[in-house]
Amino acid sequence: MREFTPEYLDHTRRGMWESTAALSPLDLGSRERILDVGCGTGELARLLDAETPGEVIGVDADTELLAVARERTDIPTVAGDATRLPLRDDAVDLAVCQALLINLPDPAAAVREFARVSDDLVAAIEPNNAAVEVSSTVDAEERLEREVREAYLAGVETDVAMGDRVADLFEAAGLTVVDRRTYRHEKLVEPPYSEPAMESAARKASGAGIAEHERELRAAGADYDELRAAWREMGREVVDEMGEAAYRRREVVPFEVTVGRV
């Protein structure tokens, strides 16, 4: 199982659901019991909890991430595998996940479990990592991010670009797809820089960010040490431009929101 750090999840989810319009087909206002599968540190679970009058439960296979979720929220969480959920049939009226299916060797098995434990809706919010767009005032950043992304996509063992194919998995599990839409998560960095933006630049300059993907980059046959050195140099350029208030970066990650009915 691929492991995630709380810092990575904080960084990738920051500001993601400032607008929740793309979640309207989940009908959160009328849910009684929602299961967030692969809840991690509870990024989505907290949002669901704020938007529904019902109860939210989180499940994840990583007990360390669940410990962080428990520090951050009172939402009940339980350790469990997405492909063998520790819930009875029809226990909830919405089973949902965010960035889970792309990390599973057998995402179809998880979708079948979602359909078993929900008596109404099933939803998945999954990114298409092959369609991420980055533009930056640091030229090397655009080029290196593309290079690293392509190597990562080649080296990762699961289908991290499946976003727009989730509907096929739903149909194969006997669900009726009732809505699908693309939510473009846009992240802007511009002056005055926020604390997280400065931390992110420091992570580029130190090589901490790229180290999260070392295994996949090596598996793709990339020269990791060379890539890391170029990445750190690019990070230092970013930090320098920030010092002159000249740095600007825009990233868009497309997430497919797929909703099915049991």
Query: Would you tell me which residues interact with ligand SAM (CB under 6 A)?
Result: 1, 4, 9, 13, 38-40, 43-44, 60-62, 65, 81-83, 98-100, 103-104
Name the minimum Å distance from CB 91 to ligand SAM. 16
Q: How far is the CB of 45 from ligand SAM (least distance, A)?
A: 8
Nearest of 251, 224, 254 to residue 102 by alpha carbon: 254
C-beta of 77: minimal distance to ligand SAM in Å? 11
Query: Which lies closer to ligand SAM via its Cβ, residue 46 or residue 204?
Result: 46
Of the candidates 185, 179, 152, 156, the one whose C-alpha atom is nearest the C-alpha of residue 166 is 179
Q: Residues 93, 33: contact at Cβ < 8 Å?
A: yes
Which pair of tokens denotes residue 157? 């063992």
Q: C-beta of 62: minimal distance to ligand SAM in Å? A: 3
Q: Using only the alpha carbons of the chain, give its radius of gyration.
A: 19
Nearer to ligand SAM, 83 or 206 (CB): 83
Q: Is residue 75 within 8 Å of 58, Cβ to Cβ?
A: yes
Please, what is the minimum distance in Å from the beta carbon of residue 255 to ligand SAM?
10
Q: Which is nearer to ligand SAM, 104 or 205 (CB)?
A: 104
Q: What is the spatial distance between Cα 230 and Cα 235, in angstroms, rounded to a whole number?
A: 9
Between 38 and 163, name the residue whose CB sits nearer to ligand SAM. 38
For ligand SAM, the closer of residues 36 and 241 by Cβ is 36
Closest approach of ligand SAM to the CB of residue 148, in Å: 17
The distance in angstroms from the start CA to the end CA of the chain is: 28
Detail the DSSP E strand segments found in the chain: 33-37, 55-60, 77-79, 92-98, 118-127, 133-136, 176-189, 249-261
Whether the CB-CB separation of 31 and 52 falls below 8 Å is answered with yes
Give me the residue label for tokens 């063992």.
Answer: 157
- Name which of 94 and 242 has its Cβ closer to ligand SAM: 94
Nearer to ligand SAM, 81 or 119 (CB): 81
Work out how close the CB of 111 gets to ligand SAM at its nearest, in angstroms, rounded to a whole number: 13
SS3 state at 41: coil
Residues paired with 179 in a beta bridge:
259
